[in-house]
A and B are shown apart, each in its own frame.
Chain A
Amino acid sequence: MEALQVPLQLLYSGIALGMIYAVIAFGYQLTFQTSDTLNFGQGDALMLGAMVGLTLVGLGLNYWLMLPIVILFGMLQGGLVEWLGVRPALKIKSEFGWIMSTIALGIIFKNVAENLWGRDDLKFPSPLPESPLSLLGAKVLPMEILVVFGAIAMMLAVELFNRKTIYGKAVVATFNDRDAAGLMGINTGLVITFSYALSSASAALAGVLIAPLTLTGATMGAVLGLKAFAVAIIGGLTSGLGIIVGGIMLGAAEMFTGYYVSSGYKDVPGLLLLLLVLALKPSGLFGKTAIKKV
Chain B
Amino acid sequence: MPFRLNRFALYAAVAAASVGLSVAAHAAEPIKIGVAGPFTGGSSSMGVSMRDGVRLAIDEINKAGGVLGRPLQAIERDDEAKNERGVQIAQELINKEKVSAAVGYINTGVALAAQRFFQDARIPVMNNVATGSVITHQFDDQPENYIFRNSAHDSIQAPMIVEEAITRRGFKKVAILADSTNYGQLGRADLEKALALKGIKPVAIEKFNIKDVDMTAQLLKAKEAGAEAVLTYGIGPELAQIANGMTKLGWKVPMVGSWTLSMANYIDNAGPGGEGARMPQTFIQEPTTPKRQSFIINYLKTFNPKNARIDSPVSAAQGYDSIYLLAAAIRQAGSTDGPKIRAALEDLKTPVDGVVTTYTRPFTAKDHEAITANIPVIGEVKGQRVVYAYAQDLQKASEVRVKSAVAELPKK
* Residue ranges of A at the interface with B (Cβ–Cβ < 8 Å): 6, 9-10, 13, 16-17, 20, 114, 118-123, 130-132, 134, 139, 141, 210, 213-215, 217, 219-220, 222-224, 254-259, 262-264, 266-267
Across-interface contacts of B209 in A (CB, < 8 A): 223, 267
Chain B residue nearest to A9 (CB atoms) is B220
Q: Is the interface of B mostly helix, strand, loop or mixed?
A: helix
Task: Name the residue in B208, B248, B269 with the highest tally of chain A Cβ atoms < 10 Å from its Cβ.
Answer: B248
Across-interface contacts of A255 in B (CB, < 8 A): 214, 216-217
Which of A120, A141, A213, A258 is close to B217, meaning CB atoms less than 8 Å apart? A258
**Chain B nearest Cβ from A280, distance in angstroms:** 27
Instruction: Flag whether B192 is at the interface (Cβ < 8 A).
Output: no
Chain A residue nearest to B223 (CB atoms) is A6
**In the complex, per-residue mask of B218-246: 1 if CB is within 8 Å of any chain A CB, else 0:** 10110010000000000011001100000
User: Given A121-B42, A121-B265, are A214 and B213 also a contact pair (CB < 8 Å)?
Assistant: yes
Instruction: Flag whether B347 is at the interface (Cβ < 8 A).
Output: no
Q: Is the CB of B237 within 8 A of A215?
A: yes
User: Given A10-B216, A263-B206, are A118 and B40 also a contact pair (CB < 8 Å)?
Assistant: yes
Chain B residue nearest to A140 (CB atoms) is B248
A-B residue pairs, 6 tightest by C-beta? A258-B217, A13-B216, A119-B40, A214-B213, A121-B237, A119-B41
Chain A residue nearest to B235 (CB atoms) is A121
CA distance A214 to B237 in the complex (A): 10
Instruction: Flag whether B63 is at the interface (Cβ < 8 A).
Output: no
Chain B residues numbered 73-110 whose CB sits less than 8 Å from any CB in chain A: 80
Across-interface contacts of B42 in A (CB, < 8 A): 119-121, 217
30 contacting pairs across A/B (C-beta < 8 A) = A6-B220, A9-B216, A10-B217, A13-B216, A13-B217, A20-B213, A119-B44, A120-B40, A120-B265, A121-B42, A121-B236, A121-B237, A121-B240, A121-B265, A122-B268, A123-B268, A132-B250, A139-B248, A210-B213, A215-B237, A215-B240, A217-B42, A219-B41, A223-B209, A223-B211, A254-B214, A255-B214, A258-B216, A258-B218, A262-B207
**Chain A nearest Cβ from B236, distance in angstroms:** 8
**Chain A nearest Cβ from B28, distance in angstroms:** 34
Given contacts A119-B80, A131-B247, A215-B237, 4 further A-B contacts (CB under 8 A): A121-B269, A139-B250, A215-B213, A256-B217
CA distance A10 to B224 in the complex (A): 12
User: Given A17-B214, A120-B45, A258-B218, are A215 and B250 also a contact pair (CB < 8 Å)?
Assistant: no
Across-interface contacts of B211 in A (CB, < 8 A): 219-220, 222-223
Q: Is the CB of A266 within 8 A of B213?
A: no
**Chain A nearest Cβ from B109, distance in angstroms:** 17
Interface residue total, chain B, C-beta cutoff 8 A: 32
Chain A residue nearest to B272 (CB atoms) is A130
Instruction: Flag whether B335 is at the interface (Cβ < 8 A).
Output: no
Q: Is the CB of B249 within 8 A of A9?
A: yes
Q: Is the CB of B247 within 8 A of A224?
A: no
CA distance A264 to B214 in the complex (A): 14
**Chain A nearest Cβ from B64, distance in angstroms:** 34
Across-interface contacts of A139 in B (CB, < 8 A): 248-250
Across-interface contacts of B44 in A (CB, < 8 A): 118-120
CA distance A134 to B271 in the complex (A): 22
CA distance A262 to B208 in the complex (A): 10
Chain B residue nearest to A227 (CB atoms) is B213
CA distance A122 to B247 in the complex (A): 18
Task: Name the residue in B40, B180, B213, B271 with the highest tally of chain A Cβ atoms < 10 Å from its Cβ.
Answer: B213
Across-interface contacts of B247 in A (CB, < 8 A): 130-132
CA distance A122 to B237 in the complex (A): 9
Q: Is the CB of A264 within 8 A of B213?
A: no
Chain B residues numbered 175-234 whose CB sits less than 8 Å from any CB in chain A: 180, 206-209, 211, 213-214, 216-218, 220-221, 224
CA distance A9 to B207 in the complex (A): 19
CA distance A254 to B212 in the complex (A): 11
Q: Is the CB of A132 within 8 A of B249?
A: yes
Q: Is the CB of A123 within 8 A of B271?
A: yes
CA distance A20 to B265 in the complex (A): 23
CA distance A257 to B169 in the complex (A): 33
CA distance A109 to B232 in the complex (A): 34
Q: Is the CB of A132 within 8 A of B237?
A: no
**Chain A nearest Cβ from B376, distance in angstroms:** 25
CA distance A119 to B39 in the complex (A): 9
Chain B residue nearest to A251 (CB atoms) is B214
Across-interface contacts of B237 in A (CB, < 8 A): 121, 215, 217
CA distance A217 to B265 in the complex (A): 11
Across-interface contacts of B221 in A (CB, < 8 A): 258-259, 263
User: Given A132-B247, A223-B211, are A114 and B40 also a contact pair (CB < 8 Å)?
Assistant: yes
CA distance A263 to B214 in the complex (A): 11
Across-interface contacts of A258 in B (CB, < 8 A): 216-218, 221
Q: Is the CB of B269 within 8 A of A215?
A: yes
Q: Is the CB of A6 within 8 A of B213?
A: no
Chain A residue nearest to B212 (CB atoms) is A223
CA distance A263 to B247 in the complex (A): 20
Q: Is the CB of A263 within 8 A of B207?
A: yes
Chain A residue nearest to B177 (CB atoms) is A263
**Chain B nearest Cβ from A15, distance in angstroms:** 11
Q: Is the CB of B207 within 8 A of A264?
A: yes
Q: Is the CB of A259 within 8 A of B213?
A: no
CA distance A16 to B249 in the complex (A): 14
Across-interface contacts of A217 in B (CB, < 8 A): 42, 237
CA distance A123 to B272 in the complex (A): 13
Across-interface contacts of B268 in A (CB, < 8 A): 122-123
**Chain A nearest Cβ from B310, distance in angstroms:** 15
CA distance A141 to B220 in the complex (A): 15
Chain A residue nearest to B41 (CB atoms) is A119
CA distance A263 to B241 in the complex (A): 15
Chain B residue nearest to A130 (CB atoms) is B247
Chain A residue nearest to B39 (CB atoms) is A119
Across-interface contacts of B214 in A (CB, < 8 A): 13, 16-17, 254-255
CA distance A290 to B145 in the complex (A): 65
Across-interface contacts of B45 in A (CB, < 8 A): 120
Q: Is the CB of A17 within 8 A of B213?
A: yes
Q: Is the CB of B217 within 8 A of A254?
A: yes
